[in-house]
Structure 1
């Protein structure tokens, strides 16, 4: 049975401000629909993605900025970072992880990897290994996005 992730809800505090940010970041606006004063849905799709994001009014009870680590896969981390910077988006410098893999967030046993920790090394992965180079950016509410360079996907992906 096939399953595809289609839409991720992103919680924001100001719908118009978020809409401007994602337009600026180069995401494609798919829909902006309202139903009275209590509901508004805005859907965007990142470039070349099959999965979209949706945010708005009356969409979720999650706290604005609570999304922590959506990965955007790119074929050239430096060019992708530069494109976002050129659009006026604040993006971290490119980095790789001292341990070889970057895990962002918290696990059942505590922190998997300190998101801002000392495990980050400046620059892309020394061999430019697939899944090895990263950069991060956040929307105005603090929802965290992670760029990850993948030139050739692992088998079965």
Structure 2
């Protein structure tokens, strides 16, 4: 049976500020619904993605800004960084991991610049939303077999 990841819930403090931030990045607004009990659900989808994010009021019991390691995949890390910056995100410089397998948590083992051989899966940038939810953008130019 196929199982597709469709939605990731991220905890935010200010729903409208977050909605404006993600819309400013060029993400599609799919829904903004409110219930009578104070529930509010906002759903946005990154360009080209089949997975969306949801946030709102009474949607998550997690602390605002506590999501980390949320990944976006692009084919050109420099172009993605430029677009994110142009759209208002504070994005770090391109980096690769010293170990070369996957990036470490936080900023451990980050080496400035893209992967030395520009290997697929090896170059990254990162940014946070206004609450501190952490995003990693990873360059994938050639998929591993079976992907």
TM-score when scaled to structure 2?
A: 0.96
Q: Which residue of 2 aligns with 1:98?
A: 98
Q: Which residue of 1 aligns with 2:129?
A: 139
Alignment size in residue pairs: 147
Once superposed, which parts of structure 1, at least 4 consecutive aligned residues long, lie more than 3 Å away?
none
The whole-number CA distance in structure 2 between the counterparts of 1:37 and 1:83 is: 38
Distance 1:61 1:18, change over 3 A: same
TM-score when scaled to structure 1?
A: 0.90
Say which SS state the counterpart of residue 68 (structure 1) adopts.
coil
Q: Which residue of 2 aligns with 1:123?
A: 113
Q: Which runs of 5+ in 1 are unaligned?
A: 104-112
Say which SS state the counterpart of residue 69 (structure 2) adopts.
strand
The whole-number CA distance in structure 2 between the counterparts of 1:5 and 1:29 is: 18
Q: Which residue of 1 aligns with 2:46?
A: 46
The whole-number CA distance in structure 1 between the counterparts of 2:52 and 2:88 is: 22
The whole-number CA distance in structure 2 between the counterparts of 1:47 and 1:123 is: 25
Q: CA RMSD in A?
A: 1.0
Deviation string 1:58-91 (CA, Å, 9 cap, x unpaired) is 1111111110111100000000000010112100
Q: Which runs of 5+ in 2 are unaligned?
A: none
